[in-house]
Amino acid sequence: MEQVFVAQKRCVRAMAGKKYWRCPAALDSCKPLFQEHKILTVYSLYILEAAKFVEKYPEKFSKNSEHPDANIRVTRNLTYNENDLYVKLCRNQKFVQNPLIMLARLWNHLPETIKSVEDMKLFVKKLKFFCLNMFYDMHDFFSCKFD
């Protein structure tokens, strides 16, 4: 995804008439260009599609309240909400990258004001606005504290 993001930034710079290819000078950040032109980064698109999938197919996921071992995480300094999706603790990096686990992690990190929206069109609209204005990449997303 990093290579796609680099290509996306190059395209946005070209569209905006900025330096974008093998310049001797340092390149300016693209973050304001993405916001100015209302373009979602590839990471924001991933989060948007992941959240739409979870909203559309909730039966594929279970909640923390359905698992008695889920509240153990409180002792490990992880947040616990019984309405969040259950993510099994794992030590293997390949398991962490499992799509369903990543979808649940992304969903759990979204603010409650977005997760609680029932209408799909309004949900997508709020989530797009949120993605466009709040963060630039996955690190920004997971480092943000909401609510």
Over residues 101-119, the pLDDT tens digits come to 888 888 888 888 888 888 9
Q: How confident is the model at residue 20 (pLDDT cuts 50, 70, 90)?
A: low
Q: Does residue 64 contact residue 70 with C-beta atoms inside 8 Å?
A: yes
Q: What percent of the chain has pLDDT over 70?
A: 73
Q: Which residues contact 113 (CB under 8 A, 6 or more apart)?
A: 126, 147
Q: What is the mean pLDDT of residues 17-35?
A: 74
Write down the pTM of the prediction.
0.78
More confident residue, 79 or 39: 39
Q: Does residue 95 contact residue 71 with C-beta atoms inside 8 Å?
A: no
pLDDT at 85: 79
CA separation for the pair 111, 127 (Å, rounded): 10
Secondary structure of residue 38 in the 3-state scheme: coil
pLDDT at 77: 42
Q: What is the mean pLDDT of residues 14-32?
A: 74
Domain ranges of the chain: 1-37, 40-143
